[in-house]
């Protein structure tokens, strides 16, 4: 299985840490959106897309990259994020990116998120929330998630 992880990590390096763990398990390069050629994505069996969450949405650089992709039949993808808040209910931030990727032709097989240091807006005044995250358990969960992807997608490739 050939994989790549496209990641935007700008604030504290939290998302990059998660991406590196997943990349290690998937034997995948971890790149920023400006480091990958759009045409190159077609050569991968699995493409990961991730960033931190800002005002309830993925980073603009990642969203703009995905929006710029032409519609085409594509392979499998997964979405991952780090956030001060959970990816559930009315605040489920992964749903719009998953839907966009599906419109672009990807088969999104799964999503992953974990809590992380959040220093946006009023949280900055108190030094942020989730100061100890991602922690060892979060990194282990990211590894387990990637191992599951490798087993499912690798077997289907």
- Domain residues of the chain, as ranges? 3-155
> What is the per-residue pLDDT for 129?
46
Tokens of 60: 């603009």
Mean pLDDT over 22-35 rounds to 96
> What is the per-residue pLDDT for 110?
94
Contacts 24+ apart (CB under 8 A), 35-43: 36/4, 36/6, 38/68, 38/69, 38/70, 40/4, 41/4, 41/69, 41/74, 42/72, 42/74, 42/75, 43/2
Per the CB < 8 A criterion, the answer to whether 94 and 111 are in contact is: yes
- Determine which of 41-50, 121-130, 134-143 has the lowest per-residue pLDDT on average: 121-130
% pLDDT > 90, the chain: 52
In terms of average pLDDT, the best of 21-25, 86-90, 128-132 is 21-25
The residue with greater pLDDT, 156 or 147, is 147
3-state secondary structure the chain: CCEEEEEECCCCCHHHHHHHHHHHHHCCEEECHHHCCHHHHHHCCEEEEEEEEECCEECHHHHHHHHHCCCCCCCEEEEEEEECCCCCHHHCCHHHHHHHHHHCCCEEEEEEEEECCECCCHHHHCCCECCCCCCHHHHHHHHHHHHHHHHHHHHHC
Mean pLDDT over 119-136 rounds to 57
The residue with greater pLDDT, 136 or 49, is 49
Mean pLDDT over 24-45 rounds to 94
What does the alpha-carbon distance between residue 128 and residue 83 come to, in Å, rounded to a whole number? 12
* Average predicted confidence (pLDDT) for the chain: 84
In this structure, which CATH number among 3.40.50.360, 3.40.50.300, 3.40.50.2000, 3.40.1710.10 belongs to the domain 3-155? 3.40.50.360
pLDDT digits (tens, 9 = 90+) for 78-89: 999 987 665 666
> What is the per-residue pLDDT for 66?
96
């Amino acid at each position: 299985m050939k994989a790549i992880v496209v990641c935007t990590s700008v604030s504290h390096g939290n998302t990059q840490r998660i991406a590196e763990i997943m990349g290690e398990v998937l034997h995948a390069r971890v790149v920023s959106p400006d480091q990958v050629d759009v045409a190159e994505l077609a050569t991968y069996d699995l493409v990961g897309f991730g960033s931190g969450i800002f005002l309830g949405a993925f980073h603009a650089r990642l969203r703009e990259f995905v929006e710029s992709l032409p519609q085409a039949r594509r392979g499998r993808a997964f979405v991952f994020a780090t956030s001060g808040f959970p990816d559930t209910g009315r605040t489920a931030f992964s749903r719009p990116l998953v839907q966009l990727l599906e419109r672009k032709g990807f088969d999104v097989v799964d999503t992953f998120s974990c809590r992380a240091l959040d220093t946006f807006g009023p949280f900055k005044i108190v030094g942020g929330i989730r100061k100890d995250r991602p922690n060892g358990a979060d990194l282990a969960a990211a590894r387990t998630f990637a191992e599951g992807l490798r087993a499912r997608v690798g077997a289907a490739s």
